[in-house]
Amino acid sequence: MVKYSEDHEWVKLEGDVVTVGITDFAQNEMGDIVFVELPEPGTVVSAGGDMATVESFKAASSVYAPLNGEVVEINDTLEADPALVNTDPMGDGWFVKIKIEDSAAFDKLLDEEAYKKLTQ
């Protein structure tokens, strides 16, 4: 199941691990992405806190953790090919996998309909 944060991340839950990336809307707003800085695996992140930085051609943007948890895997391919975030934001352009503490918090994220409203 995929949910969305108000900060334009998508969050896909499988077991107790979520995969996180930025939405198509967000990548389109940023333009050409040239660099992505991801946290080290093992980093403990808290909802709303800085998790990653995305450098587009024109400026840097922060990406915030959508939920509390521990980063268990990062998408290394973004180092060599940051443009994957533009071409496949919901797929190969994923950022991190986070082992979450509490699936109730996931349920509180926006569903697709609510997120669409946010971006209209």
- Among 1, 6, 31, 112, the residue binding another protein under the rule CB under 8 A is 31
CA angle 66, 63, 19 (to 5 degrees): 50
- Provide the strand spans (E) within 1-120: 2-4, 9-14, 17-22, 33-37, 44-45, 50-56, 60-64, 69-74, 96-100
- Smallest separation, CB 103 to another protein (Å): 32
- Smallest separation, CB 30 to another protein (Å): 10
- Among 37, 70, 88, 101, the residue binding another protein under the rule CB under 8 A is 37
- Smallest separation, CB 86 to another protein (Å): 8
Can you read off the two tokens belonging to residue 39?
Answer: 């946290």
Tell me the per-residue interface mask from 86 to 115 with another protein, x by CB under 8 A, - otherwise. Answer: ------------------------------
The widest CA-to-CA distance across the chain, in whole angstroms, is 37
Binding site for another protein (CB under 8 A): 31-32, 34-35, 37, 53, 55, 57-60, 82
